[in-house]
Amino acid sequence: MESLIVNNLVKKFPLSKKQRKKLYTSETEKTAVDNISFVAKSGEVFGLLGTNGAGKTTTMRMLATLIKPNSGQIFFNDINAIENPEKVRSQLAFLTTDLKPDMKSTPSAMYDFFAELYHIPRNYALERKKQLFSEFQIEPYAETMIAKLSQGQRQKVSLVISVIHDPKFVIFDEPTNGLDIIAAREVRDFIISMKKNGKCVIISTHLFDLVEKICDRAAIIMDGKIIANDTLDNLMQGRSLEDAFYEMYLKQVKMKEV
Amino acid sequence: MRDIITVAKKELKTFFSDKVILFQMIFLPFVIIFGYSSLMSGIAKANTEPEKKEVKAYYMNAPESFKDPLENLKIKVAPDNNEEKYIKDVKNKELDLFVIFPENFKEAQPGQTDLSNIDIYYNSEESSSIELFSGVTALFTTMQPQIFTVNASPDKTYDLVDKDAAFRDLISSFVPLMAFFAVFMICMTLAANSIAGDKENGFLNTLLVSPIRRKDLAIGKSVSILIVAIIASLSTFVGIILSLRKLSDAINSGEGVKYGVSEYLVLLMALVTGAFTLAAVLLIVSTLAKNVKQATTVAPIFLFFLMIPSLLSTIPTFESFIKALGRKNYIIPVWNSVRLFQDVLKLDFSMLNALITFVSNIIAVLLGALLIGHLFNKEKIVNG
């Protein structure tokens, strides 16, 4: 049983003089993620729901070991992600619209390159390539330069590259951002298939309907803090997720005023 | 190691599959240096070859003692006495020159005050006319009565310039700059795209979430650029070998400058190690830059390191100052390669200075690689 454990994660970013002036603050740093903790298990989709600037992407990037937290711990199974980032990366996939394949390459070449980087045995890599390219219908444009592909096609290529090594953990930041209806549906189906295959999937989003459709549990993040963390049913309590979120948001605003 | 090779292979595949980059890497350095040298030699030849145009010039009323010298300058006796016509012909560029001696011309004697005047009509719009005019006035100056003569002996060579040395000084002022410029341009483009470009388009983050160590990623990218630097250096080197011969034929009026195997080998090593250091510097710039535009804007500043030795060596004061620095010249990376290049072209290099240059550049490259690896671990640098 795979599990991701996040304990008291904190991330602060220094503010330049220009930024302090713009934000009308004398603080020299901004706390983007403020002491968050949660657990995600295999065979489930855990959602991190929040507005823009809430700290979702920062959290996801820390989970993906792209950036280091100022304090706190992240464990993928028993592996400490902060102390052994390379070991962790071989077990996880990170997807976001910011991460792109090499535009000057082809899907086939990209796959081969990452198969080598992940040290996947050649024969297995070839078999898996056939399987994944067929599943994601990439074969027709496998040798076309990625720069010439549509957004949806590039997203598929990114998806395939991310799961080359059959990761145990899939971290997906804003999975349907910028995608058309069909591509968004394909991504949702991909996430559900990952869950059914026993992967531990963590997504971050600001879209309520996405969380409602595919998440088993969710945490609501506001101003870098987790204000609720539960199953969807418990979070919603008979209302829509949007209404539940908005109620919590208003409570937070009142608390701040006090 | 395996990951380094994987990254380097991928980068090189990207470079070699782009026809434009391939052309820039293999042919452009050769084209720049050989093309420029051909242009220089063409210009030089045009200036030294005798005027092919058939000159037409007349004299009138010249005394006997002047006739042969004038005929030697291809100025012939006028067919008739129609002064006005020939003056008009000069104006209309139908005649290059018209020299009129006064009738009963008498050569001046020392102390004589009433002098005869010779009229020389020419047209300054025509280069052949100006040349003839210069020749005739010089002739008349030499033909004036003198108390003593200077350099009158036709059997002696009075200009003792070492023409070969003059040629070597000339080529050492621009060939090193051309050579390194070509390598610089190709390395700058590729280094900028390799790191800053990947940062800008999001591919670097894709690589950073893979299990590859950041240090290995940095080294893999660096190795690919160094390989490109070698290829560009070799192309430049071939261009130089052919250019030197061409330039020597066109410009050098001495016995001919010959460079041996050792000179060419040292030139090649200076070029390659200098190119390595340039590549390392450009990779560091690319790592620190947020995008390709920033990288390619900052990088040309380092061109000064190439230009300064070449430019300063043409000014005697600075050249003396640089020479006074002695061995220290060969410790400074890139600068040392240009200086060594100049020394070899002047046939005035020492193997010790060459060794100092190579070692200094290799150390600079290794330190550069370490720095790049260190920078790749900095969040702010790689995440932008």
Residue B27 pLDDT: 78
Which residue of A99, A106, A151 to mutate against B (max B Cβ within 10 Å)? A99
Residues A11 and A35 in one domain: yes
pLDDT tens-place string over residues B325-351 = 888 889 988 888 988 988 998 888 889
Residues A86 and A202 in one domain: yes
Assigned domain for A188 exists: no
Q: Which CATH number fits the domain that encloses residue A221?
A: 3.40.50.300
Residue A37 pLDDT: 94
Question: Do A86 and B13 make contact, defined as CB atoms within 8 angstroms?
Answer: no
Assigned domain for A81 exists: yes
Average pLDDT over residues A94-111: 87
Residues A112 and A155 in one domain: yes
- How far off is chain B from A25, nearest CA to CA, in Å? 22
Assigned domain for A185 exists: no
Query: What is the C-alpha radius of gyration for chain B, rounded to an integer number of angstroms?
Result: 31
Cβ neighbours of A89 in B, within 8 Å: 209-211
- How far off is chain B from A230, nearest CA to CA, in Å? 29
What mean pLDDT is reported for chain A? 89
Question: Do B211 and A117 make contact, defined as CB atoms within 8 angstroms?
Answer: yes
Q: Which of A52-66, A87-101, A168-182, B252-266 has the highest mean pLDDT?
A: A52-66
Q: What is the pTM of this model?
A: 0.74
Restricting to B residues 18-47, those with a Cβ less than 8 Å away from any Cβ of A are: 18
Assigned domain for A191 exists: no
Residue A71 pLDDT: 93
C-alpha to C-alpha distance for B327 and B330, rounded to whole angstroms: 6
Residues A176 and A79 in one domain: yes
Question: Do B209 and A98 make contact, defined as CB atoms within 8 angstroms?
Answer: no
Assigned domain for A125 exists: yes
C-alpha to C-alpha distance for B221 and B205, rounded to whole angstroms: 14
Assigned domain for A70 exists: yes
B86 has a pLDDT exceeding 70: yes
Residue B46 pLDDT: 60
**Could you tell me the residue ranges of all domains in chain B?**
2-46+164-382, 57-143
Q: What residue in B sits closest to A101 (Cα-Cα)?
A: B203
B219 has a pLDDT exceeding 60: yes
Residues A83 and A176 in one domain: yes
B147 has a pLDDT exceeding 60: no
B51 has a pLDDT exceeding 60: no
Residues A176 and A159 in one domain: no
Q: Which residues of A226-258 are buried (b: 16+ CB within 10 A; e: fewer)?
A: bbebeebeebbeeeebeebbeeeeeeeeeeeee
Residue A65 pLDDT: 92
Which residue of A79, A104, A122, A146 to mutate against B (max B Cβ within 10 Å)? A104
Structural domain count of chain A:
2
Assigned domain for A192 exists: no
C-beta separation of B78 from B84 below 8 A: no
Residue B251 pLDDT: 63
pLDDT tens-place string over residues A38-76 = 999 999 999 999 988 889 999 999 999 999 999 999 999
What mean pLDDT is reported for chain B? 82
- How far off is chain B from A133, nearest CA to CA, in Å? 19
At CB < 8 Å, which residues of chain A contact B?
Answer: 64-68, 86-87, 89-90, 92, 94, 98-105, 109, 113-114, 116-119, 158, 161
Residues A176 and A71 in one domain: yes
ipTM of the complex in this document: 0.86
Residues A11 and A134 in one domain: no
Alpha helices for B101-213 (secondary structure H): 127-143, 163-191, 198-201, 203-208
**DSSP letter, residue B75:** P
pLDDT tens-place string over residues A8-40 = 999 998 888 888 888 788 888 889 999 999 999
Q: What residue in B sits closest to A111 (Cα-Cα)?
A: B10
Strands (E), B29-84: 57-60, 76-77
A124 is in which domain, residue-wise? 98-166
pLDDT tens-place string over residues B92-113 = 888 999 998 888 776 656 666 6
Residues A81 and A111 in one domain: no
Residue B181 pLDDT: 85
Cβ neighbours of A118 in B, within 8 Å: 210-211
Question: Do A86 and B205 make contact, defined as CB atoms within 8 angstroms?
Answer: no
Phi, psi (deg, nearest 5) at residue A225: -115, 150
Cβ neighbours of A81 in B, within 8 Å: none
Least confident of A36-40, A246-250, B143-147: B143-147
Cβ neighbours of A114 in B, within 8 Å: 210
Cβ neighbours of A67 in B, within 8 Å: 379, 383
List, as one string, the DSSP characters of A70-137. SEEEEEETTEETTT-HHHHHTTEEEE-TT----TTS-HHHHHHHHHHHTT--HHHHHHHHHHHHHHTT
Tokens, residue B33: 């240096």
C-beta separation of A168 from A42 below 8 A: yes
Assigned domain for A189 exists: no
Q: What residue in A sits closest to B197 (Cα-Cα)?
A: A102
CB-nearest partner of A101 from B2, B18, B203: B203
CATH fold of B57-143, please? D-Maltodextrin-Binding Protein; domain 2 (3.40.190)
| B75 pLDDT tier (thresholds 50, 70, 90) | very high
Residues A69 and A5 in one domain: yes
Question: Do A117 and B213 make contact, defined as CB atoms within 8 angstroms?
Answer: no
Q: Does B120 touch chain A (CB under 8 A)?
A: no
Beta bridge partners of A171: A94, A202
Question: Do B210 and A104 make contact, defined as CB atoms within 8 angstroms?
Answer: no
A243 has a pLDDT exceeding 80: yes
